[in-house]
Amino acid sequence: MFDNTFLKIYKEYREDVSLKRKRAKRERRKMTMADKGAAKMAREEIVAMLRHSVWEFNEWRRKNGNYLDLSMADLRGLNLEGVDFSYADLGRASFDRANLSGANFTGAYLRGAIFDYADLSGANFTGANLELASLKDADISDAIFSGANLRGADLTFVLFSSETVFLEALLSKAYINKDLFEKVVNDFKQSIEPSFGQDDGGDDDEEEDIKD
């Protein structure tokens, strides 16, 4: 059950995530053509760093700020356990069969990214944009999708647990199986339970496409 204290803390955290995501977008817009060219050239070096050592990559990110453009990067099958991709641009990147357990995708741009058969257990997708992403047959046990945009995403046949969180996630037009749909509905009911007996705030008009 989500009590009022948890919801208050979560709201403050979401506001912080939103501010950091906007800051990362501003950094991206300020880049000159020369900066973008250098970033593109550096992409191969960054991928090589990821292949060599996630710890080294995380240290590099800690020292170099939020901005990171790995859009359309091929990261299939890599062991990226615990990687920090927070606020990164990973649109249409490929993570098929990658080990991303415990990864941090907070506020990341992941529109159209592919996570089919990937290990996403314990990963944090709070506030991430996963619109039209594919997570077919992925392991999302204990993963957090709070406030994430999953519109049109494919979550068919994912492996989830009771600790997988979809609080305030956007799931309109998402493809999900019946058991996951029931889990999402239950999370939603728990999130509004402290407000029962008060103003219900109106109806939710978002729908999900369910696959049996």
In the chain, the percentage of residues whose pLDDT exceeds 90 is: 56
* Distances in whole angstroms, Cα of residue 186 to Cα of each of 2, 50, 153, 190: 11, 37, 20, 6
* 197 Cα distance to chain centroid: 33
For the chain, domain boundaries: 4-197
d(CA 10, CA 147): 10
Q: What is the pLDDT of residue 203?
A: 47
Residue 67 near residue 85, CB atoms below 8 Å: no
- Within 10 angstroms of residue 208's Cβ, the number of other Cβ atoms is 17
Q: What is the pLDDT of residue 98?
A: 99
Residue 72 near residue 51, CB atoms below 8 Å: no
Residue 104 near residue 88, CB atoms below 8 Å: no
Q: What six digits make up the tokens of 90?
A: 């990973």
How does pLDDT run across 46-86, given as a tens digit for each residue? Answer: 999 999 999 999 999 888 877 789 999 999 999 999 999 99
Question: pTM for this one?
Answer: 0.76
Say if residue 208's pLDDT is above 50: no
How does pLDDT run across 114-171, given as a tens digit for each residue? Answer: 999 999 999 999 999 999 999 999 999 999 999 899 999 999 999 999 999 998 899 9
4-197 topology per CATH: Pectate Lyase C-like (2.160.20)
